[in-house]
Homo-oligomer: A and B are copies of this chain.
Amino acid sequence: MAERTPTRAVTIKDVAAASNVSRATAARALNGYGYVGEAVALRVTQEAARLGYRGNRVAQALRQGQMPIIGFIPGDIQNPFFARIAHDIDVLLRSRRHNLIIASSEENQKQERELLDSLFALNLRGLIVAPASAEGNDHLQRLAAEGYPLVLIDRAVPDVACDTISVDNARGAHEAVNYLIRNGHRRIGVIHDDSRIITAQERLGGYRQALSDSGLPVDPHLMAVSQSTVQHAIDATIRLFSQPDRPTALFTLDSLMTTGALLALRSMGLCVPQDVSLVGFDDFDLATFTDPQITVVSQPVGQIGPLAVQMMMERISGGDSPPRQVRFPTRLIVRGSVARMSQSAR
């Protein structure tokens, strides 16, 4: 049928020639605008189908100014949290005839800047970003100020006026720690990371606040610095629980740290929840896989992607309403990893 040299694609010129009309008329027939004769329109569409014509998106994009593509810069695509969101965004965008480019910043702001530049140069329609750092976001600020479609997810940052979707980290952490306190715990350890990721800062803030609200001291000996990897969390947990007067409960700031803590506690021969109670931030597969299952603060992962896409599409189609800042509540899922402290043990 369609006689095609291997390398050359069918252009609108070919269709026009095959239909004995001009390029302009062919374009009108194929895109259905302006005046086109019925017979001609039919002929053109048939020829297009016969030749296997597919419009060249690049040329269209040049004319119209942009590619039908949205960029997504998550903190780390291998993190199930972001993988899930990426998947949701991808599916929804596709249903709106757009594509998604994913480029992971690997929690590195320098890389984030580079990615931003490189994606921006592709003339995408907009960007969805989970900023790697709470500070130094002038690159985002500039984009937002220019009115470029930008949606921030998971991590709100100050001074950047754009649509933002985040989670109430402070309150979630507060609730988790408070739950431990209500169960009689007084020495509550925390594995946190010293990075500039704002979610971690907010969660640590919630931990501190919960302690002070109950009149408990914020003891530096109970706070172990880690990074957001399983291995670092293992080390930090071991450090924390090798102390003479060790915590009776532990709060971990994300799922990787929770995993690390579990592995470390097991290697130290400490049982959850008999020896140590545990609450983690962010729900994850493993949490229901252990025995007992882990009590966690869960985030509404499934709502973030869809809302991000909705906000993005509104921006793209010219909505210039003031930026929306949505903050989802978290939910404490009580499972079996917290034991009630007896009075005597305090």
Cβ of A90 under 8 Å from chain B: yes
Cβ of A55 under 8 Å from chain B: yes
Q: Are B57 and A122 in contact (CB under 8 A)?
A: yes
Q: Are B58 and A123 in contact (CB under 8 A)?
A: yes
Chain A interface residue count, CB cutoff 8 Å, equals: 49
**Chain B contacts for A80, CB-based, 8 A:** 78, 80
Nearest CB to that of A148 among chain B residues? B6
Instruction: Please encode chain A, from 47 to 87, with 1 for each CB lying within 8 Å of some chain B CB and 0 for all others.
Output: 00000001111110110001101000000011010011011
**23 A-B pairs in the complex with CB atoms less than 8 angstroms apart:** A4-B146, A7-B147, A56-B62, A56-B123, A57-B121, A57-B123, A59-B62, A62-B62, A77-B83, A77-B86, A77-B90, A78-B83, A78-B84, A87-B104, A99-B118, A99-B119, A99-B122, A100-B101, A100-B102, A100-B103, A263-B289, A266-B291, A289-B289
**Chain B contacts for A90, CB-based, 8 A:** 77, 102-104
**Chain B contacts for A110, CB-based, 8 A:** none
Q: Are A67 and B122 in contact (CB under 8 A)?
A: yes
Q: Are B61 and A58 in contact (CB under 8 A)?
A: yes
Instruction: Please encode chain A, from 1 to 29, with 1 for each CB lying within 8 Å of some chain B CB and 0 for all others.
Output: 00010110000000000000000000000
In the bound assembly, the distance between CA atoms of A6 and B148 in angstroms comes to: 8
Q: 4 other contacts beyond A56-B121, A77-B90, A83-B83, with CB at 8 A cut-off?
A: A56-B62, A99-B101, A263-B289, A289-B290
**Nearest CB of chain B from residue A327's CB, rounded to whole Å:** 25
Q: Which residues from 117 to 148 on chain A have a C-beta closer than 8 Å to any C-beta of chain B?
A: 117-123, 145-147
**Nearest CB of chain B from residue A133's CB, rounded to whole Å:** 20
Q: Are A99 and B103 in contact (CB under 8 A)?
A: yes
**Chain B contacts for A117, CB-based, 8 A:** 54
Instruction: Write the residues of chain A forming the contact surface with B, with a CB cutoff of 8 angstroms.
Output: 4, 6-7, 54-59, 61-62, 66-67, 69, 77-78, 80, 83-84, 86-87, 90, 94, 99-104, 115, 117-123, 145-147, 259, 262-263, 266, 285-286, 289-291
**Chain B contacts for A147, CB-based, 8 A:** 6-7
**Chain B contacts for A66, CB-based, 8 A:** 58
Q: Are B120 and A54 in contact (CB under 8 A)?
A: yes
Q: Are A122 and B286 in contact (CB under 8 A)?
A: no
**Nearest CB of chain B from residue A42's CB, rounded to whole Å:** 23
**Chain B contacts for A83, CB-based, 8 A:** 77-78, 83
Q: Are B99 and A54 in contact (CB under 8 A)?
A: no
Q: Are A55 and B121 in contact (CB under 8 A)?
A: yes
**Chain B contacts for A118, CB-based, 8 A:** 94, 99
